[in-house]
Each structure stands twice: as C-alpha cells, then as structure tokens.
Structure 1
Amino acid sequence: MASLPPHLIFKPVAGLAKKAPAVICVQEWWGINAAIKGIAQKIADKTGAEVYLPDLYKGKVGVNQEEASHLMNNLDFKNAVNEMELLCKDIIRKEDADRKVGVCGFCMGGALTLATAALIEKPLDACAPFYGIPPAELCDVAVLKKKTPVQGHFGDKDGMAGFSDKASADKLEETLKNAEGDKEATIFHYPTEGHAFMNDDEFSKEQRKLLKFDGDYTDEARELAWGRLTEFLKKNLF
C-alpha cells in the first residue's frame, strides 16, 4: 500500500515567490546522496520553484554498483509512482488546487518521471526525464502527448541498452512524435555524452570510471542541458 514518501524540500537561495510552483525531483539508482541533493537545489535556484526530493529507498543509499543495483531491482516501480502521486496531492493540498507541479528525474528517476506523468490521474504541468525510459509493461508513454509537456535529455554515447541508449531514445522520440495529442514533446540528444552526464561531483566521476561508461562528459553539454531544462520548467510552470 502506497503512503506519502519521506522527502526533502529545497527552496531557492534567493527566496520563494508566493504561490511558486513545485518540481518533484526523482533520484538516481544511488538513492538520496549528495549528488541528487545538489541537483535538486540547483533546480530550485535556477527556476525559482520549490523542489521536492522523495526518498523512494526510505533512507537506504547505494555506495557502489552492487548496492545500488540491489536497491533499484527491489524497488516496486508501480508503488513508487503511487507514492509520488500522493506527494503531488499533498503538495497541492498545502497550497491550492491551481498550483502547478512538474517532475524531473535522472537515470532510474528519469524512467519514473515518465511513468509518473503517464500514470497519475491529475495531469502534471511538465515532465523532464534524463537518460531513463520505463518499460512498456509499466506505462504507455504515448499518452503524454495528450497530458503533459515532455522534454527529454539523452547522451548518444549512453551504453544502457533498452533503457537510455541512443536506440531507446530514438524510439521514445518516435513514439511521442507519432502519438495523438498536442502537448510539447521534445527529445534532446547530446552526441558526445554518456550515461549520467549531468553529474559533475567526484563520487559520480569515480563511479563512471568504475562502470566504464563511454562519453566525454563536458561542461558545455551540462550547461546546455541546464539551460534547456530551466527554460522548459519556467515556460510550463510559471
């Protein structure tokens, strides 16, 4: 049975505007570590939104590939989506029914971002997945063309076959392009980048080397993606 997940809240350093929108930031397979906390704060600072970071692992954090893989494989994705729907309802209840809410996630969180936007009852106002796509048995991403604007980000050197590699990103792009509906659906490709290219902290750099990820991981690609994400969230949430 889904229940409201424990979560952290990040506010812009410059201060939160009255009735500011909310963004739910969804964790990578590592859990709630310093890297995802830094990203959540950066989203808040760049957009002016209040950012919610749900702890889907309930306090557990993977410190290496084996632990992270175990935590992700034991996560009930459908229940996680239900928990985030409860979080959405709680966010709106605390403010008002007109408050706009978006979702943005990375890796495992990218897949859950698409699944959440596709499955929850009340349409979200923005959906921004980074290098993660849910399995077809979890949800039909095509419904998003009628529900929620989507902006996706994928590295062409991503080696996660069937999850976030170029072929999978191309398939997602084609699915959204051919779906019925008039909502924005844009997939950005980063030719030089590999999986998890948005992370620039030392832990992430070390793990990418251990996992032998391909890609250049350039500051230019990260800043381009940050600019696109910020513009997208501001356009659809404010």
Structure 2
Amino acid sequence: MNNNKNVKPAAIPDKAYELYDKYAHGLLNRRDFLTAIGGLALSTAAAASILGGLMPNYALAEQVSFNDPDITARYQTFASPDGHGEGRGYLVTPAKAEAKLPTVLVIHENRGLNPYIKDVARRLAKAGFIAFAPDALWPLGGYPGNDDEGRQMQGSMDREKIVADLKAAARWLKRLDAGNGKLGVVGFCFGGAMTGLLAAELPEVVDAGVPFYGSPPPADKIADIKAPLLVQLGALDSRVNERWPEAEALMQQHKVAYQVHRYPDSHHGFHNDSTARYNKEMAELAWQRTLAFFHQHLG
C-alpha cells in the first residue's frame, strides 16, 4: 500500500482544476491550457508546481502490486463482432477461490487503460471480485504509455464501435466460468458515462452499476435500466453535476433504484490518486461504498 497519497501542492487555485478538466475533455488545447496555467501563477516556478500537481504521476497510484500473492493478473482478448472484431483487457482474479465469484467490469477514462485503472482492477480482485478492465485503444495498439496521446487516440476512434466493444466485454465477463453469473460495472469519467449507458442498453446483463463522475444515461434510455446504480460525484464538479437533476427526476419517475453521493471539497477525478485532484478521505469513503454495494447486489 502506498501511503504517500497527498500529492496536492499547497496552492493550486480552483481555476486550475477547471482548466485541467476542460483540457482533459478536449475543450481546451494543450497550448491554451499551458498559457492559461501560466497566467494563474506569479512565477514560472509556481506555474510548474501547479502543472506538476495536475498531471498524473502513476507511481503514486499503485495500491495493490501486480505481484501481490493474493491476486493473479493477465491480459485477455475477447471477441467483439459488432465492434472492432477483437478486444483486449486486463483480467485480475483472486488467487484462491473456493466458490464462483461475482464479476466487475472496470471502464477507464477517455485515455485508455492507464496504470491507475489497472490498479483499480487489482483492488477489486483483492476484495474478492473477478475484475476485467478492457482497453478501448486495443484496436490501435493499446494504451500508448501517456494520457495525452491516449486521449488523442481515443478521440480519433468510432464511439459506437467502442461502445460495442464494451458491450462485448460485459457479455464475455458475465459468462466467465469462474464467475457466479452476476456482473457489476464501475467506470470513471468517460467510463462513468459508459456504466450508465451499459445499464440502460444491457438491462439483462448488468446487475449493478457504479458510475464515478460520468454523465447520466440518455434521457430516453433511463426507463430501460433495471440494475441499481450508485452514483459517485464530486461536489465541485459543476460540469458533470448540472446534468444529474433531470436524470434523477426520470429515475424516480421510472422507479430506477439509485443513490447519489456528492462528496464535499471534491473535484472531477477525485478518486484518481495519481493527481492533485485526489481527495484521499472522500475517495476511500466512495470506494468502501462501492465495495459494499457490489457485495450487496452481486452476492
């Protein structure tokens, strides 16, 4: 367990988080982002400190080693006839299991299967689940090793084919011989949006969903959701949060079982322990709620 989790520099202004969120989601190009960050700081050193805190440092994100004796991790391909033909992901299982186990699909952000998401899969296996994290970038060779290039690669791809690959991964995982036939889905940012979408479009496949700071499912699909949802939002994430009240009203109207938690003092990405957006206390609370929710609904 890595205990050095407080990576946040002393003085990152709220505006910097807003700028990074726009940059990370393609609303601001890199040059304009760097120029804007420079404009927030009184010195070059201060700007470098802000930028260093915002950009991911994946050495900080390893909570469970791939060498942990309690888990077994490997890469696994799966067929995706409606998508790119073949997908690949990171499959992590508990090393010892006396019975069939619940399965959880882990869906990454808009940049591919980076080390943080792989660690999330290992955390789930450590907690007794079979976890599978597909890499949407596999048709282009997989996550390239840095988020900037990963974002560009994912942005160049056909979104509908990505969705089809994720659906194929969900179906494959639910049928896994070692699984108990129950499937949970957890996703972050883009993956959070995909979690709700899969719950709506695969109601017979998804048994529970935990979207972290993702956009809600399309309004015209909410009535189709059968799985309970645990929605995890950062209270300071206005871009995403403003979309949820309408969705909540529709969920109530259609009697969808859901809970929404808005975590105080938390930005978009607050669970990601590789950047200054990480809120250790709230991330740990959200994670314990996630595990309890999956144990409750997946058996």
CA displacement at 1:43 relative to structure 2: 1.9
For 2:114 and 2:244, locate their aligned partners in 1 and report how far apart those are by CA, in whole Å. 26
Question: Is 1:171 equivalent to 2:246 in the alignment?
Answer: yes
User: 2:184, 2:208 within 8 Å by CA — same for their partners in 1?
Assistant: yes
Deviation for aligned residue 1:62: 6.5
1:123 and 2:205 matched: yes
**1:71 paired residue number:** 153
Aligned equivalent of 2:130? 50
Aligned partner (choices 277, 280, 283) of residue 219 of structure 1 = 280
Q: Residue 90 of structure 1 aligns with which residue?
A: 172
Deviations 1:160-184 (A, max 9, x none): x2xx2x2123333233222x23x42
Letter in 1 for 2:298: L
Aligned residue among 93, 98, 101 for 1:20: 101
Which residue is equivalent to 1:103? 185
Change in Cα spacing, 1:142 to 1:90, as seen in structure 2 (3 Å) is same
Q: How many angstroms apart in 1 are the aligned matches of 2:179 and 2:273?
A: 37
SS of the equivalent of 1:151 reads strand
Task: Indicate the residue corresponding to 1:211 in structure 2.
Answer: none
* 1:89-135 CA distance string (max 9 Å, x none): 32344328961111110011101111111112623111110011156
1:193 aligns with 2:273: no
The 5 A counterparts of 1:201-212 are 201=274, 204-205=275-276
- For 1:237, the equivalent position in structure 2 comes to 298
CA distance in 1, matches of 2:156, 2:231: 26
Please give the alpha-carbon distance, in whole angstroms, between the structure 1 residues aligned to 2:113 and 2:168: 19
| Aligned-partner residue type, residue 235 of structure 1 | Q
TM-score between both structures, scaled by the size of structure 1: 0.80
Specify whether residues 237 and 104 from structure 1 end up closer, same or farther in structure 2 by C-alpha distance, changes over 3 A only: same
Distance of aligned partners of 1:141 and 1:73 in 2 relative to their CA distance in 1, 3 Å threshold = farther
Q: Report which stretch shifted further, 29-38 or 54-63.
A: 54-63
Which residue is 2:144 aligned to?
A: 61
Question: CA offset at residue 199 of structure 1?
Answer: 1.0
- Alignment partners' CA distance in 1, 2:181 and 2:125: 16
In the aligned structure 2, how far is the partner of 1:60 from the partner of 1:97? 27
Listed one character per residue, the Cα deviations across residues 9-44 of structure 1 (whole Å, up to 9, x for unaligned) are 11236x334210110000112211111111111122
Match of 1:153 in 2: 232
Query: Does the CA contact (< 8 Å) of 2:87 and 2:165 recur in 1?
Result: yes
- Aligned residue type for 1:171: E
> Is the CA contact 1:16–1:49 (under 8 Å) kept in the aligned structure 2?
no
More strand by share: 2
Equivalent pair of 1:4/1:87 in contact (CA under 8 Å): no
Which residue type is aligned with residue 115 of structure 1?
A: L
C-alpha change, 1:82 and 1:17, in structure 2 (3 Å) is farther
After superposition, give the CA deviation of every residue in 1:42-67 in whole Å (9 maximum; x if it has no partner).
12222x110001111110337244x3
Deviation of the 1:222 alpha carbon: 0.9
Q: CA RMSD in A?
A: 2.4
The alignment's TM-score, normalised by the length of structure 2, stands at 0.65
Tell me the matched-pair count.
Answer: 214
**Structure 2 unaligned spans of 5+:** 1-81
1:82–1:120 CA contact under 8 A, matched in 2: no
Distance 1:96 1:31, change over 3 A: closer
| Matches of 1:100 and 1:135, distance apart in 2 | 21
* Max Rg structure: 2
Between the aligned residues of both structures, percent identity stands at 29
When residues 225 and 93 of structure 1 are mapped into structure 2, their CA distance, relative to the original with a 3 A threshold, is closer
